Structure formats: structure tokens, C-alpha cells
């Protein structure tokens, strides 16, 4: 189905630094059942129900972002698959005129059960967080023993012809040996996109960050030495730098938030599970969209978003340890 809007309606949201925004990262729940040591080391501490956006509110939100020229929505969390109405949310996003891609980021919990359902609902891409290919180290990092099931579900999806899979791996000094090389070897004969993400400091992980942070530049130099070539970037590429290799079916992307000019290619906005707009992952605060969402007022919301974008700062200040309001990524979706 052609989901593109007619050109005259398709005016892309642009900020004061001429960056264009077409990608919404929508958190649909703060809840998470894993305890990743860099994110929620003690597990999710809140109540089970936390005033999440309703389906009607999500409809209003998605319709307004589509009007602003957004083309891609990523559902994230917390763990988005913990939301019982996830399939309905995928359907709402998929049926919105203007939205061309609906993606999800998941920890892989019950992937064997959910992945076929998401594919049937029309999901365009699934990002799965796998921080190590060693089940023992995976469990040390996440507290979950699900790695064998997650790997089996991925292999079965590929066999069935679904290859829109990306793997997110947060680089951790202590676990590098079971991360970079084993994962790259794994995608030699699989059409999977790896993403190595440099660990970012948040309000709650400073001690771990100081121990485990590794610069993604180390991986870049290693890739270049192994004859991986940088792919050409398009205006919609976003901040990942991608590499390909003639002998590998899979590709490798590097997300290096501490590198110079990282924010120049920012193309995304974030909305929390409670309807707060965050102009940056490390914003000092969110902007409450809830009144517009509760009223179902697409026109007013669109106007508010157009005005808000001018407050977006040119860059984050993570190098100065300014992590903003972000205590951990589960509250914002990463």
C-alpha cells in the first residue's frame, strides 16, 4: 500500500539549525522485565500501571506527527512487548497516511511468540537488543536467561524470509570479547544489521559508566583495518555510521554519541509513555502533550509541535556530564 502523503501536505518539520525531523521514537510503556546493568540494574521500580497513553491518544499523536512530515515511527519503552494492546498500536501506526515505516525495539522477551504476530501485523523492522552472544554474559548484563530462545526466534524468522532485523549491542569494556568479533562473525552469512552503541551516561549509571565506557572509535578503527567500508549516507541516515564488507551478508553500524558533530544529523524526536515530548534524549525536561492528546486535538498539537521545535538545542552536552532529565533510558526509550 502506498502510504505517502501528497507533496503539498508534506512539509517537513525543520529546526533552527536546519535539521529536518521525520522519525518519532514513541515509548509506549516505562515497564521492563529485564535488569540491564546500564539501564535498570535493580529492575523496574514503579507501579505496574503508569498512566500510559491510550489507543485514542496514540492515534491523535501519530496523526499530528504524520501531518508534520514524519515517516517513521519506532515503538520502544521500557519493554514495548509488555503492552497487551501492542498489536493494536502497530495497526494504528501502520494505517496512518504518511507513515511509511513502523519499527520496534525490544529486549526479545518472548520473541518466539511475538515476532510472527508483529510480522503479520505489518511491522517493518525489529531491533533486538543483544549485548553478548555468550548466554552467561548476556545473563550477567540483563539478568535474563532468554538468549537461546531469542537466537532461535531470529534464525527461524530469517528462514521464513523476514530479514528486517537489527541487533543493538551496547559496548561494555568488560564484555567486549563476547560482543564485537562474535557478533560480526555471526552476520557473515546473515542479512542482519548490527548496531554497536557507545554506552551513554545517564542520571543513574555514573559509576558503571566510568567502569564500562569504551569509545566507539576503537571499533571504527578495527573495522577499517578488517577492510570494512563506510556506506554512503543519505540526508535521512540519522546518526549511525554504517559499514559493509564484500565477504559479509550483514552490515555493521556504529552509534558514537560522544563523537564530534554527532547531533548535526539528528532527525528524531521522542515522546514518553505519558505523552511528554523530549526534544533530545538528554533534554532538561519534557513538554506535556497530554492536554492535546486527551482532547483529540490534532490541529492544536501540530501547531504546538511546530513552535516547540525551535527550542531544540544544537547538541547534547554529554561530554560535560550533562545528562538532563534522563535518569535511565527505560523512561524514554533510548
Chain residues binding ligand SAM by CB under 6 A are 32, 38-39, 76-77, 79, 105-107, 129, 168, 170, 197, 199-200, 202, 205, 329-330, 333-334
User: What is the rounded CA–CA span in Å between residue 299 and residue 21?
Assistant: 18
Q: Grid cell 557507545 — which residue?
A: 198
Quote the DSSP letter at residue 191: -
In whole angstroms, how close is the CB of 306 to ligand SF4 at the nearest point?
31
User: What is the rounded CA–CA span in Å between residue 214 and residue 220?
Assistant: 12
80 binds ligand SF4 (CB under 6 A): no
In whole angstroms, how close is the CB of 77 to ligand SF4 at the nearest point?
6
- What pairs with residue 277 in β-bridges? 271, 287
User: What is the rounded CA–CA span in Å between residue 290 and residue 78?
Assistant: 19
In whole angstroms, how close is the CB of 45 to ligand SF4 at the nearest point?
12
Q: Closer CB to ligand SF4, residue 78 or residue 275?
A: 78
Among 39, 66, 73, 200, binds ligand SF4 (CB under 6 A): 39
Among 13, 26, 28, 36, binds ligand SF4 (CB under 6 A): 36
User: To 5 degrees, how large is the angle CA 192–CA 120–CA 1?
Assistant: 90
Among 23, 34, 138, 282, binds ligand SF4 (CB under 6 A): 34
- Name the region of 322 (left: φ>0; alpha: ψ -120 to 50; beta: rest): beta
Among 5, 28, 32, 172, binds ligand SF4 (CB under 6 A): 32
Whether the Cβ atoms of residue 274 and residue 50 lie closer than 8 Å to each other: yes
267 Cβ contact list (under 8 Å, min separation 6): 19, 20, 21, 22, 23, 236, 238
26 binds ligand SF4 (CB under 6 A): no
In whole angstroms, how close is the CB of 166 to ligand SAM at the nearest point?
10
Q: Closer CB to ligand SF4, residue 196 or residue 329?
A: 329
In whole angstroms, how close is the CB of 203 to ligand SF4 at the nearest point?
14
Mark the segment that binds ligand SF4 (CB under 6 A) among 34-42, 157-165, 268-276, 317-325.
34-42
Instruction: Decide which of ligand SF4, ligand SAM, none touches 40; Cβ closer than 5 to 8 Å per partner kind.
Output: ligand SF4
In whole angstroms, how close is the CB of 168 to ligand SF4 at the nearest point?
9
Which residues, 118 to 147, sit near ligand SF4 by CB under 6 A?
129, 142
Among 23, 27, 78, 305, binds ligand SF4 (CB under 6 A): 78
User: What is the rounded CA–CA span in Å between residue 334 and residue 325?
Assistant: 13
263 Cβ contact list (under 8 Å, min separation 6): 239, 280, 314, 315, 316
Instruction: Decide which of ligand SAM, ligand SF4, none touches 187; Cβ closer than 5 to 8 Å per partner kind.
Output: none
Nearest to 309 by CA among 76, 57, 101, 12: 12
Whether the Cβ atoms of residue 175 and residue 132 lie closer than 8 Å to each other: yes
Among 29, 81, 107, 202, binds ligand SF4 (CB under 6 A): 107
The contacts found for 39-44 with CB under 8 angstroms, 24 or more apart, are 39/202, 39/205, 39/328, 39/329, 39/330, 40/328, 40/330, 41/205, 41/208, 43/143, 44/78, 44/330
79 binds ligand SF4 (CB under 6 A): yes
In whole angstroms, how close is the CB of 127 to ligand SAM at the nearest point?
7
Q: Write out the residues near ligand SF4 by the rule CB under 6 A.
A: 32, 34, 36, 39-40, 77-79, 107, 129, 142, 329-330
Amino acid at each position: 500500500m502506498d502510504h505517502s502523503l501528497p507533496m503539498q501536505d508534506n512539509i517537513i518539520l525543520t529546526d533552527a539549525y536546519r535539521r529536518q525531523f521525520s522519525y518519532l521514537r514513541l515509548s509506549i510503556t516505562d515497564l521492563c522485565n529485564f535488569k540491564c546493568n546500564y539501564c535498570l540494574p535493580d529492575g523496574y521500580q514503579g507501579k505496574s500501571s503508569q498512566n500510559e497513553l491510550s489507543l485514542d491518544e496514540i492515534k491523535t499523536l501519530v496523526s499530528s506527527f504524520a501531518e508534520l512530515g514524519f515517516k517513521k515511527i519506532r515503538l520502544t519503552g521500557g519493554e514495548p512487548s509488555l503492552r497487551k494492546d501492542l498489536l493494536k498500536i502497530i495497526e494504528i501506526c501502520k494505517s496512518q497516511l504518511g507513515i511509511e515505516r513502523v519499527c520496534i525495539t525490544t529486549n526479545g522477551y518472548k520473541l518466539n511468540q511475538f515476532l510472527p504476530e508483529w510480522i503479520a501485523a505489518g511491522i517493518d523492522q525489529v531491533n533486538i537488543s543483544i549485548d553478548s552472544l555468550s548466554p552467561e554474559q548476556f545473563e550477567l548484563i540483563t539478568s535474563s536467561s532468554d538468549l537461546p530462545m531469542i537466537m532461535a526466534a531470529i534464525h527461524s524468522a530469517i528462514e521464513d524470509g523476514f530479514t528486517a532485523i537489527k541487533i543493538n549491542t551496547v559496548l561494555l569494556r568488560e564484555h567486549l570479547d563476547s560482543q564485537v568479533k562474535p557478533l560480526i562473525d555471526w552476520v557473515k552469512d546473515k542479512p542482519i544489521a548490527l548496531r554497536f552503541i557507545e554506552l551513554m551516561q545517564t542520571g543513574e549509571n555514573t559509576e558503571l559508566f566510568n567502569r564500562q565506557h569504551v569509545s566507539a572509535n576503537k571499533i571504527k578503527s578495527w573495522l577499517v583495518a578488517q577492510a570494512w567500508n563506510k556506506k554512503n549516507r543519505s540526508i535521512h541516515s540519522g546518526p549511525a555510521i554504517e559499514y559493509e564488507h564484500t565477504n559479509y551478508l550483514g552490515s555493521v553500524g556504529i552509534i558514537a554519541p560522544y563523537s564530534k558533530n554527532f547531533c548535526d544529523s539528528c532527525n528524531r524526536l521522542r515522546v514518553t509513555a505519558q505523552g511528554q515530548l523530549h526534544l533530545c534524549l538528554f533534554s532538561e525536561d519534557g513538554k506535556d502533550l497530554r492536554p492535546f492528546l486527551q482532547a483529540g486535538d490534532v490541529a492544536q498539537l501540530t501547531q504546538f509541535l511546530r513552535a516547540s521545535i525551535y527550542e531544540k538545542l544544537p547538541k547534547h552536552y554529554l561530554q560535560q556530564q550533562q545528562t538532563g532529565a534522563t535518569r535511565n533510558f527505560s523512561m524514554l526509550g533510548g
